[in-house]
Structure 1
Amino acid sequence: MIATLAHAEPDRAVTPPPYSDREATLLGRPMPADRLRGWLVTLALTVIGGVVRFQNLGFPTDKGTPVFDEKYYAAQAWQILRNGGYEDNAGYEYIVHPPLAKQLIAAGEALFGYNGWGWRFAAAIAGTLIVLLTIRIARRLTRSTLLGGIAGVLVICDGVLHLQSRMSMLDIFIALFVVAAFACLLADRDQVRTRLAIAVRDGWVGESPYGPRLGFRWWRFGAGLMIGLAFAVKWSGLYHLAAFGLLCVAFDVAARRAAGVRRPWVGTIVRDVAPALWAFVGIAFLMYLGSWWAWFASETGTDRNYVAIKEIAPGFFGWIPPALRSLGDYSMNVLQFHETLLTPKDQPHPWESKPWTWPMGLRPMLYYYESGDAAAGCGGPGCVRATMLIGTPAMWWLALPMLAWGLWRWIFRADWRYAAVLTGYLAGLLPWFLNLDRQMYFFYATTLAPFLILGLTLALGQILGSANRGFERRGTGLAVVSLYVGLVVANFLWLWPILNGDPITGEHWQTELWLPSWH
């Protein structure tokens, strides 16, 4: 498929009308002309990704019950389904995340019942949509359908995204909404530059030293909606909210400067910052509150009447409705839970990991393990069935080189594409270094995977080279890229048994564990 797309000249772009230098700088390289083929490639790979994620989705289970942390979220989703959207078990002390992802899981349970298919269906849908979004993002970043398709293959073959798409946990949902927000942000960047190019062509870009007003920006509004949904899955969505808000401002400053605005920084502050704050803070916060709709409408939701039951004097906050004050106190209790979720010095969790191990996936997580008669089917004695969260090493072991190359391109070549991708990646990694005593696990790194793949895709695009640089250069680049993609696919197929719980011999199980830290 890679060779076929390459010979079809994926970098061929729409022939533009004559632009001035300033307009050309604003617009950059146009999107490729093969729009239909781009969507055909996207949909074909999305279908393949869906098949890979949905196959045998109901396995494994623990004698028909959830495995690992599914035991929390599948059960909470079942409560939500029973109650019409909210949780109410006051004796259950682990309701420490917003309700959105559990509401989505509940939708799957409504369709298929309380079984593996039911509590994993929504996660598989989310993982499949990440395939689609990553292809479209990569195509927009590189202006190449071929590279968009390569990004899709890499997403399908990543062990973290694959297994998280097959588990009733929250992290695949936050990854979905973060990637969707990033896609909207990139579309907004292109739209802003198109509007400024029109202003340049029509001669009114310099009527104000601050530059023109840009009208309502639907893509920025969409980014705020998506980041609000990420926040409504887990509070860690706030990290990406802050990072993407700053990235949006940086995009606006760069666009106004490229358009020749005399005071681009002041123009951005005057024209763009307030709407950006509304999109990335106001809209996001409203989306977060909206995810609690059923809790607000209930009488028995967890801590729904907290301030009344505890007889908390409102004081200065008396003007705030009791329901909102109850949610605030409930949230403070949840915050305290997270702040005190520390690693016991005498009995650490056997699969805990710290964030410096995440980029290369040095400490994966064992979700499920059976051996002996319960795991029969490998064709020999001593069978093993296991699912382990492992990032495909052919990609994850290149994380540090990707980061180094991306930072060099960002700082010394002003390559905005790497700046955008690394902003998304580092927003999912760096904040976890602020409290290293907290219990942390590799599945927190789920949001890193799409940005790792986008960074690798940008690098592969540079290796591939432009279609205009000669057959020999293009052919060599295509060979290198094809070999790498083939290596990733082969690596994923090797890990397949321990990503899906297939029966294997004990000897085979040991060959899957490449590093001592994987044991």
Structure 2
Amino acid sequence: MSLVATRPAESPSTSGGRPLSEADLAEVHLIGKPMPTDRLRGWLVAGFLALLGGFVRLQNLGFPTDKGTPVFDEKHYVPQAWEYLRNGGYEDNPAYELTVHPPLGKELIAVGEWLFGYNGWGWRFTAALAGALMILMIVRIARRLTRSTLLGAIAGVLLICDGLSHVQSRMGMLDIFLAFFVLMAFGCMLIDRDQVRSRLALTVREGWATESRFGPRLGFRWWRFAAGVSLGLACGTKWSGVFFIAAFGLLTVIWDATARRSAGVSSPWKGALVRDVAPGLWGLLAVPLLVYLTTWWGWFGSETAVDRHLADAAGHHGWYDFVPEALRSLWQYSGNVLDFHENLVTPAKDQHPWESKPWTWPMGLRPMLYYYDGGTVTCGEDRCVSATMLVGTPAMWWLALPVLGWGLWRMIGRLDWRYAAVVVAYLAGLLPWFTNLDRQMYFFYATPLAAFLVLGLVLVLGQILGPAADGYERRGTGLFVVALYVGVVVANFIWLWPILNGDSITEGHWNAELWLPSWR
């Protein structure tokens, strides 16, 4: 299915050998391949895989800890989340100016702490829940992308077996929540695309699609609104969500224009600009901004939150004094946070041992060690190791660059909208980090990439599998190759299990798990 639909000169008949009319052809191009009819089975598959993934994510969730305290960057967010519970929705401890992310992710961690207390389960429960729900979403999203329940199920299995997603779903950190809301927004965008084309198909069927050279108005688009809400929640977790606002905004303009073209509109790009851009700015810019501000509800309602009255304390006055003091304080507070992030640079002679740069992320060349105990654990031998390492499953991540290259070819050379959607989303999570290479960065920043890597792999596997119309031999060979690959991924995940979960293993086993010198 191409990004820009072109009308064939001839088409099969609809019934009785009658050639399709121009309106029929337009409707075919708009709707494309229909969704599978096995709706109940589709939901059962998604639900089962989400439950399976949740069970996997929850295994021994309270381990590891640092003598009962959080590990690595959990040490920032877990205590800050506890402050939200103690104070009723806001932080009041500057924490050496390390309160440098929006509140939503920490509020979600606080929910788990409220349920289970200040312990490993409390810190990590909502992260594990988000990871399980991402499995549910990716099954449904892949099914919609490929129009195949089987490929949707494969996407769920691949995400379950991704080491990076697994570990981040078991850490009291923010990145899994960012990935969750970004994937939610992506799914909403796909449903909105299908809904827009269905609405245009109705106008074609009723004969008024081309009454205006700009095409018809499309009405209120609830799924685009939901995408905007999701993106606002992503930004309320981490500011890097803003890059996905730009990427998804670009996608929706292109999708709207090409849909109008398929409907026979004479000026589809002008039609998209006239009919769709203003509502799109509302849905994917204004709505996220309003939702983002809403995530600061506790901060706005407090008197002692971090920098709550910074505008008055700073003594800055000018033409903007008509803006409420709270908004001016948030703006100035955000400026301080931006300055912190821009200048978070590791000295050249004192780099963090597990720092990495974005060019290493697609293949996971520099994972990171969250926890290591080589002295107090037992395993039946003299030298034992317990370690938790953030590493993407190599059977998936080492194919990232070939999949990205193939996706770019399908996007540009074949105008395949499905690959375009996945590639644009993937690059929105990767390319912005190249703008400041001196900044301190880590592999966990790549967490949002995992879902789109899975979707890219599934699109390729779908091509290998081939359509059902292909012969039995061709389809059987494709199914064998796909099953073999999925089996390799599952086996690879099982092999990595001890270092993803901190199991006690021999030192020899530990060394065997470290496949590359850069993993050490």
Query: Does residue 375 of the first structure (1) align with residue 410 of the second (2)?
Result: no
| CA deviation vs aligned residue, 1:15-43 (integer Å, no higher than 9, x gap) | x9998111011000000011111111100
Tell me, in whole angstroms, the C-alpha distance in 2 between the residues paired with 1:302 and 1:429: 31
1:322 matched to which residue of 2? 325
In 1, Cα distance between equivalents of 2:474 and 2:173 = 45
Partner in structure 2 of residue 390 of structure 1? 391
Residue 455 (structure 1) aligns with: 456
Q: Which residue identity does 1:349 align to in structure 2?
A: H
2:142 matched to 1:141? no
Q: How many residues align?
A: 501
Give the match for residue 444 of structure 1.
Answer: 445
Partner residue of 1:281 out of 278, 282, 285: 285
- 1:236 and 2:240 correspond: yes
1:356 maps to what in 2? 359
Structure 1 residue 92: Cα displacement: 3.5
CA distance in 2, matches of 1:44, 1:97: 34
Corresponding residue for residue 155 of structure 1: 159
Q: Tell me how far apart the structure 1 counterparts of residues 479 and 137 of structure 2 sit (CA, whole Å).
A: 24
The one of 86, 105, 109 equivalent to 1:105 is 109
Amino acid across the alignment from 1:89: N
Look up the match of 1:399. 400
Paired residue secondary structure (1:68): coil
Rounded to whole Å, the distance in 1 between the matches of 2:421 and 2:268 is: 20
Which residue does the alignment assign to 1:36?
40
User: In structure 1, what is the equivalent of residue 7 of structure 2?
Assistant: none
Secondary structure class of the residue paired with 2:256: helix
Secondary structure at the aligned position of 2:218 is classed as: coil
- The aligned runs of 1:39-54 (5 Å cut-off) are 39-54=43-58
| Partner secondary structure for residue 370 of structure 2 | strand
- Shift, 1:307, TM fit: 1.7
> 1:52 and 1:313 mapped to 2: Cα distance?
52
| Rounded Cα–Cα distance in structure 2 between residues aligned with 1:331 and 1:41 | 43
Greater Cα offset, 85-94 or 291-300: 85-94
The runs of at least 4 consecutive aligned structure 1 residues that moved more than 4 Å come to 16-19
- Name the CA distance, whole Å, in 2 between partners of 1:303 and 1:488: 48
Deviation of residue 371 (structure 1)?
1.1
Q: Distance in 1 between matches of 2:316 and 2:464?
A: 64
Aligned to 1:10: none
Q: Please give the alpha-carbon distance, in whole angstroms, between the structure 2 residues aligned to 1:375 and 1:274.
A: 61
Structure 1 position 91, deviation (Å): 4.7
> Residue type matched to 1:180 in 2?
M
Render the CA deviation track for 1:369-390: whole Å, top value 9, x for unaligned. 0012x222x2212110000000
Match of 2:465? 464
| Separation in structure 1 between the aligned mates of residue 173 and residue 47 of structure 2, nearest angstrom | 26
1:59 counterpart residue number: 63
The Cα offsets for residues 241-298 of structure 1, whole Å up to 9 and x where unpaired, read as: 1000111111101100111111011100110001111111100000110000010000
- Whole-angstrom CA distance in 1 between matches of 2:270 and 2:468: 40
Determine the C-alpha separation between the residues in 1 that align with 2:292 and 2:269. 31
Letter in 2 for 1:268: A
CA distance in 2, matches of 1:410, 1:232: 31
Cross-structure match for 2:350: 347
CA distance in 2, matches of 1:94, 1:407: 39
Q: Which amino acid aligns with 2:344?
A: L
| Residue 11 (structure 2) aligns with | none
Does 1:186 pair with 2:187? no
List gaps (5 residues or longer) in structure 1.
Answer: 1-15
Once superposed, what is the RMSD of the aligned Cα atoms? 1.1
Q: CA deviation at 1:73?
A: 0.4
Q: Deviations over 1:292-341 (max 9, x none)?
A: 0010000000000112223x132111100111111111000000001111
Per-residue deviation, residues 330-382 of structure 1 (Å, max 9, x unmatched): 0000000011111211101110100000000000000000012x222x22121
Distance 1:313 1:352 in 2: 38
Return the TM-score normalized by structure 2: 0.95
